[in-house]
């Protein structure tokens, strides 16, 4: 039986404050929504994913997804119920569905295992955790103590047989519910509780984000990649270096724009994430890359790192040449590289040296660059 996962990411995140909704904020260098998508699509039991976003959020959602192939986004409605209904369109009645909040980005695979197993015997299943804290009713002062016996904290993803879920939602008569299991309970349909997980806690406050960032950071290991590139002088200037045009009487020979700095940093990032080299991703035999701007290569490598859950901590590049002088353009190069990588400028280092007139660079035949990238990746 086919399983579709619907990730509801249509909220405005107004309780968090700020202009960017919380599902698009980053944790450990990756958008919250991307974490949620990766957790579900990596499970062998999930066949397809649908992401429900608010009207006008498509550009932001595409940026959050990077190179992930997630299909077309679904436009949500004014309420959660409408958003889920839109996500269910086109899903067959005989399928199974997981409905998940993007604000719970770290779903362990064991929870999905338990949910799908429960659907073999029941029309719906939810993950939940017991209530451990003492409960009390009141606002400014306690008015009464509440009995926590038999109470649980409900999480997502929630699993349903589609036919029964549609029937329950139709019975609800448009009454706005906090989740889909509430509709099943109101319709008198059985909902099985399976063991939830603390990793499924919802991101609601800044403190939640801070804790998630700390947890994800602790799960990352540091990797280092090295890159090297060289181009010979050829033709007329200027020279492209570090993403900027540097005036010079001679240019550099290369299939693309021959930017030795961006090429070296690109290879360093690809090395750190074990994704081959620049020639594998942008082969010089492919005519589409002739004369191409190398910022595309660097941005691609950075996105690959982020798609894998990586966080670029620092890049350092040394230019090796007699001419032109790098010093006057150093800060402009740092700023441009930082812009391409979406990093703070202090995380980018550009420096230069000569070979004391030795070798091809010393003879003024070309320019070389070597780079190191430090990236934290999931273990």
Structural domains present in the chain: 3-218 (3.90.550.10), 221-378 (3.30.1330.50)
- Cβ-based neighbours of 45, under 8 Å, separated by 6 or more: 3, 112, 113, 116
- Average of per-residue pLDDT across 46-51: 96
**Residues 373 and 317 sit within 8 Å (Cβ to Cβ):** no
- Per-residue confidence band for 306, with pLDDT thresholds at 50, 70 and 90: confident
Dihedral sign for Cα 159, 164, 167, 168, please: negative
- Cβ-based neighbours of 126, under 8 Å, separated by 6 or more: 115, 154, 155, 156, 158, 159, 181, 191, 192, 193, 194
- Average of per-residue pLDDT across 211-218: 83
- Average of per-residue pLDDT across 224-247: 96
- Per-residue confidence band for 19, with pLDDT thresholds at 50, 70 and 90: confident
The answer to whether residue 14 scores a pLDDT higher than 90 is: no
- Judge if the upstream peptide bond of residue 157 is cis by omega within 30 degrees of 0: yes
- Per-residue confidence band for 175, with pLDDT thresholds at 50, 70 and 90: confident
232, two tokens: 């010979």
- Average of per-residue pLDDT across 126-134: 93
Q: How much is the pLDDT for 13? A: 60
**Residues 1 and 94 sit within 8 Å (Cβ to Cβ):** yes
Number of H helices, E strands in the chain: 12, 19
The answer to whether residue 346 scores a pLDDT higher than 80 is: yes
Q: How much is the pLDDT for 16? A: 56
**Residues 180 and 158 sit within 8 Å (Cβ to Cβ):** yes
| 43 or 218, which is more confident | 43
- The 10s digit of each residue's pLDDT in 262-282 is 999 999 999 999 999 999 999
CA dist 361 and 370 (Å) reads: 13
Give this prediction's pTM.
0.66
Q: How much is the pLDDT for 139? A: 87
Q: How much is the pLDDT for 51? A: 97
């Amino acid at each position: 039986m086919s399983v579709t996962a619907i990730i509801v990411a249509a909220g405005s995140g107004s309780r968090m404050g700020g202009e960017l909704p919380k599902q698009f904020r980053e944790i450990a260098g990756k958008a919250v929504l991307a974490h949620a998508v990766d957790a579900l699509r990596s499970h062998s039991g999930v066949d397809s994913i649908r992401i429900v976003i608010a009207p006008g959020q498509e550009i932001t959602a595409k940026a959050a997804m990077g190179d992930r192939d997630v299909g077309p986004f679904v436009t949500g409605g004014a309420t959660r119920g409408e958003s889920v209904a839109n996500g269910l369109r086109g899903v067959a009645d005989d399928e199974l569905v997981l409905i998940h909040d993007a604000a719970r980005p770290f779903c362990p695979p064991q929870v999905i295992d338990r949910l799908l197993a429960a659907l073999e015997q029941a029309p719906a299943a939810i993950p939940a955790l017991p209530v451990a804290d003492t409960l009390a009713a009141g606002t400014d002062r306690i008015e009464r103590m509440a009995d926590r016996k038999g109470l649980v904290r409900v999480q997502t993803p929630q699993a349903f047989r589609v036919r029964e879920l549609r029937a329950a939602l139709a019975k609800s008569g448009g009454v706005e519910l906090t989740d889909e299991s509430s509709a099943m309970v109101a319709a008198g349909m059985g909902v099985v509780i399976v063991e939830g997980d603390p990793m499924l806690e919802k991101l609601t406050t800044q403190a939640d984000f801070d804790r998630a960032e700390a947890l994800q950071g602790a799960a990352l290991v540091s990797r280092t990649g090295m890159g090297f590139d060289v181009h010979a002088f050829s033709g007329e200037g200027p020279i492209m270096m570090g993403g900027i045009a540097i005036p010079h009487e001679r240019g550099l020979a290369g299939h693309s724009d021959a930017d030795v700095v961006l090429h070296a940093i690109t290879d360093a990032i690809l090395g750190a994430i074990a994704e081959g080299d620049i020639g594998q991703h942008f082969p010089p035999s492919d005519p589409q890359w002739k004369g191409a701007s190398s910022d595309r290569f660097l941005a691609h490598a950075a996105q690959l790192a982020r798609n894998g859950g990586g966080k670029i901590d620092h890049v350092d590049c040394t230019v090796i040449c007699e001419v032109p002088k790098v010093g006057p353009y150093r800060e402009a190069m740092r700023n441009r590289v930082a812009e391409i990588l979406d990093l703070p400028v202090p995380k980018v280092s550009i420096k230069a040296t000569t070979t004391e007139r030795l070798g091809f660079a010393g003879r003024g035949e070309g320019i070389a660059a070597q780079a190191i990238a430090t990236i934290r990746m999931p273990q």
